[in-house]
Structure 1
Amino acid sequence: MSGPRRDPDMIRAYVRTGGRSSPSRDDLDLTSPVRAADRPLQGLDAESVRVMRLCSGPLSVAEIAAYLDLPPTVALIVVSALLDTGHLDTPVRVAPDAPDLALVKDVLDGLRALL
Structure 2
Amino acid sequence: MTRGRTRPNAPNLNLVTQIRASATPSDTSSLSPEHLQIIEICSVPLSVAEVAAYLNVPLVVVKVLIGDLVERGDVVAGGLFQTSEITDTKLLQAVLDGIRRI
Q: In angstroms, what is the RMSD of aligned CA positions?
A: 1.6
Q: Per-residue deviation at 1:43? A: 1.3
Looking at structure 2, the residues matched to 17 and 51 of structure 1 have their Cα atoms a distance apart, in angstroms, of 14
- Structure number with larger C-alpha Rg: 1
Higher relative CO (Cα under 8 Å, sequence separation at least 6) belongs to: 2
Tell me the equivalent position of 2:12.
Answer: 27
Looking at structure 1, the residues matched to 7 and 34 of structure 2 have their Cα atoms a distance apart, in angstroms, of 16
Looking at structure 2, the residues matched to 90 and 77 of structure 1 have their Cα atoms a distance apart, in angstroms, of 13
Tell me the equivalent position of 1:57.
Answer: 44
Tell me the equivalent position of 1:45.
Answer: 32
Question: Hey, which bits of structure 1, 4+ residues long, moved more than 3 A?
Answer: none
Scaled by the length of structure 2, what TM-score is found?
A: 0.68
Scaled by the length of structure 1, what TM-score is found?
A: 0.61
Tell me the equivalent position of 2:53.
Answer: 66
**Which structure 2 segments of 5+ residues have no match?**
81-102
Looking at structure 2, the residues matched to 24 and 17 of structure 1 have their Cα atoms a distance apart, in angstroms, of 11
Instruction: Output one character per residue of 1:58-114: Cα deviation in whole Å (capped at 9) or x when no partner.
Output: 000100000110101101110111101100013537xxxxxxxxxxxxxxxxxxxxx
Tell me the percent identity.
33
